[in-house]
Structure 1
């Protein structure tokens, strides 16, 4: 998710600008803490290396993106013999790094038309790598147990009716709409204002903090209203039902201050550095072919987030169980 000036990404989940770089042994540093570096000052030592079997992947901090990178890195290393470096960086800076060859590929992009126009259409330094196979969507959700008890809460027009029940000490006397980090770009403040709702947007601080708050509400059987997104493994643990917002129509979110519509559904895509796409050999071909579905991504995400496996261990487990899925990516 981009910053507010780069708000065209419908994912709206840009995470804190923390950057991590792996050690040379192919360790998933951005995921396992093997080492760290600031991508604004230091690029990967492997990115765009000429005639070298090395690949650098950009990885975002949400667990679904970690799952993509973990499986791709594992197969690149163990099936194709590449050394893989991973770099954790915000979505918009990742486009800059990709254009400059500091990373070779982004495996989960939620839509950045401004960056596409600059780097794909005009500069031609970035090349589309195809769809990931997963469709992303952001929305407002209430716990299913609350929706079943109060079916009309799933229409935004009735939210004010439940504002008192959704009030928290942090929501300043109004109902609470729980968001993640202040660095995420969402339309939520504009939506609350433009739909004239008696709610206040309250930021948990991070995806992890938001998950903790949601799970605590669920444990206590309390109602809540939250910004959330699919695909996401948490739905497997806390069933949630989407609140219907005014229908999304192309361009309805063009003015960030005037947004009064739902978030779109977005096929997630991959992008490659153009030089790498043209000369990256087996690695580039494999990343273009990498394509899985929501259930497969969530299987790996759950292993990382719930079973507390390292991303590399989760990738190995998934790869061992799903040869029929990934073998075609190598052909």
Structure 2
């Protein structure tokens, strides 16, 4: 899935210390036992969107309750997480949306990281409008008609243009390039964090106001605020190679796991389990919804999911 990393996917809610992709790099908090051969401790990197938190919550629950490990979790921004993984400050990243430059550096060139296989979830970033607005104005779902609706999407923050709402400034997105390349009368406005973006979307929906936002699937918020994707120019391999001139849609990306190379080889049952860990979009959304909307703690949500899905997770355990 060659592409520029454009997603720090958004989603989340105020969740203890792991909230918002804009969080500071916390690699120094990594467990001293990470990547230690024979250790019964596993250190997992936690990305700040709620789907990634759901992955880690279920993996942690099963590692602790079924395999007898102590699990440490560390919140790290996306690119610094690769550095921490290479250096053994964390053992595994369970959801990555595609960093080909990091893969080349650490897998192909240095050999300090190994691929851990598919997570089983396919991610997709795009531009979305609320379905209630799309039903009233069906042509808004074609990017060629967006300028027609720029005034409807204008806000106090968008400087007289239509607003395209993104999450945190720390996200790597193609949106500014897309606006320029497609000649759109829009301003990218950052909500500041994932939690702030969700709050804003919910407020717009409550008032039945139009909005245009960068968003992604899978995401639990679609259950609460139905949204319809705007069709951008079709994605073709390499169309996003120059980040300053992107003029195409975001691709659909099978999400991947990555392990520290020493952990992959010497991590015992924990490494074997994480290699087998693979679930569906619906499963991830079930746990994410419990965390984000029902306000369960990640471990409470994981425990509830584990109780109801034994036939799935039993297959992940080492023989």
- TM-score interval, normalised by the smaller of the two chains: over 0.9
> What is the aligned partner in structure 2 of residue 173 from structure 1?
160
Which of residues 87, 110, 117 is equivalent to 1:130? 117
> What is the aligned partner in structure 2 of residue 95 from structure 1?
82
SS of corresponding position for 2:278: coil
CA shift in 2, pair 1:219/1:309, >3 Å: same
> What is the aligned partner in structure 1 of residue 56 from structure 2?
69
Query: Does the 8 Å contact 1:107/1:132 carry over to 2?
Result: yes
SS of corresponding position for 1:147: helix
CA shift in 2, pair 1:279/1:46, >3 Å: same
Query: Does the 8 Å contact 2:168/2:194 carry over to 1?
Result: yes
Deviation string 1:212-270 (CA, Å, 9 cap, x unpaired) is: 00000000011110000111100010000000000111111111111111011100000
Aligned 1:26-41 pairs, distance under 5 A: 31=18, 39-41=26-28
SS of corresponding position for 2:259: strand
For the residues of structure 2 that align with 1:177 and 1:293, how far apart are their CA atoms?
30
> What is the aligned partner in structure 2 of residue 19 from structure 1?
none
Query: Does the 8 Å contact 1:105/1:271 carry over to 2?
Result: yes
User: Normalised by the size of structure 2, how large is the TM-score?
Assistant: 0.93
> What is the aligned partner in structure 1 of residue 298 from structure 2?
311
Whether 1:208 aligns to 2:204 is: no
Whether 1:9 aligns to 2:5 is: yes
Aligned 1:149-164 pairs, distance under 5 A: 149-164=136-151
Q: CA deviation at 1:40?
A: 4.5
Which of residues 208, 214, 219 is equivalent to 2:206? 219
SS of corresponding position for 2:129: strand
> What is the aligned partner in structure 2 of residue 115 from structure 1?
102
Q: CA deviation at 1:50?
A: 3.0
Structure 1 alignment gaps of length 5 or more: 1-6, 16-27
> What is the aligned partner in structure 2 of residue 184 from structure 1?
171
CA shift in 2, pair 1:212/1:76, >3 Å: same
> What is the aligned partner in structure 1 of residue 91 from structure 2?
104
User: Normalised by the size of structure 1, how large is the TM-score?
Assistant: 0.90
Query: Does the 8 Å contact 1:13/1:185 carry over to 2?
Result: no
**Runs of 4+ in structure 1 over 6 Å off:** none
Q: CA deviation at 1:144?
A: 0.5
Q: Note the aligned Cα RMSD (angstroms).
A: 1.9
Q: CA deviation at 1:69?
A: 0.2
> What is the aligned partner in structure 2 of residue 320 from structure 1?
307
Whether 1:254 aligns to 2:241 is: yes
Structure 2 alignment gaps of length 5 or more: none
Query: Does the 8 Å contact 1:132/1:291 carry over to 2?
Result: yes
Query: Does the 8 Å contact 1:191/1:261 carry over to 2?
Result: yes
For the residues of structure 2 that align with 1:145 and 1:227, how far apart are their CA atoms?
17
Corresponding pairs, count: 310
